[in-house]
Chain A
């Protein structure tokens, strides 16, 4: 892998990041969220991400629901947490609508129902890690903030050694991710919304790490398991993950 490939990969991540952030009024995502029920043109990447959001909704039986944006704003997560959370208005939090009911997609176009908004933070990192690894070549690992994808035989032919919940696993054409409520916390609140209540999750689990077929799948499975709680998480992980750690 050349330095030029790495720089091109970094540029791709940063450029796409500016388009899918909800913290900028001029991003592609902000334009979609602010379209007030009208159809808007979307880029190929945004269309793929929105389709992935719909797939995540199905894979998680509705628990990974990008339509939680109104709740995110209600709990005060209105800007990057480096700038601090704003005042929470928990009375405004509502159970999220079914994503397929409020998000319509056509080739190159998307539409959200009036009053609805999406936040792609729940799936974007895993999805981007999958694509970045593919862009970097057949033997590459991409780690975007803990959501990662390892392609190919790794540095010594026996997989990519990755630290996973205190042990080392050798990943080859696999993804891994951790979902946690231990970070991005302020006061009694945190960023992981349970779409069934519209409020931060109180499932009894605080952190879940998962190895799955792709980075995006790992992220979705980890988040779903965390939202399901200790009673159901193991069964869900057994059906959808290749390795897991619940805490």
Chain B
């Protein structure tokens, strides 16, 4: 009798965990307040300037450049 109870308990536990997981996933299928990647966030906040996209990792300056990257 005892092994049968153990099997029954394990089965019930598995089914319960499966049911709880599916309910949780269904309830959190889309989370509109989930944080965005920094790059996406920057472009939504106007990080794209004149065709140039600049993420928060790069700072713009207003001084004369000492050199430039150009096509070669």
Using a CB–CB cutoff of 8 Å, the interface residues on chain A facing chain B are: 125, 141, 143, 145-148, 155, 158-171, 174, 176-180, 182-184, 207, 209, 211, 218, 234, 237-239, 241-247
Contact = CB atoms under 8 A, between A and B. Distances in A.
Interface of B: 37, 39-40, 43, 49-55, 57-72
A242 B37 contact: no
A76 to B, nearest CB: 19
Given A159-B61, A161-B66, A168-B62, A243 B72 contact: no
Q: At the interface, is chain B mostly helix, strand, loop or mixed? A: loop
B52 A162 contact: no
Nearest to B65: A163
B71 A167 contact: no
A170 B51 contact: no
Contacts of A159: 59, 61
Nearest to B49: A167
16 contacts: A125-B72, A143-B69, A161-B63, A166-B52, A169-B58, A169-B60, A170-B58, A177-B69, A207-B71, A209-B69, A237-B53, A238-B53, A242-B57, A243-B58, A245-B52, A246-B51
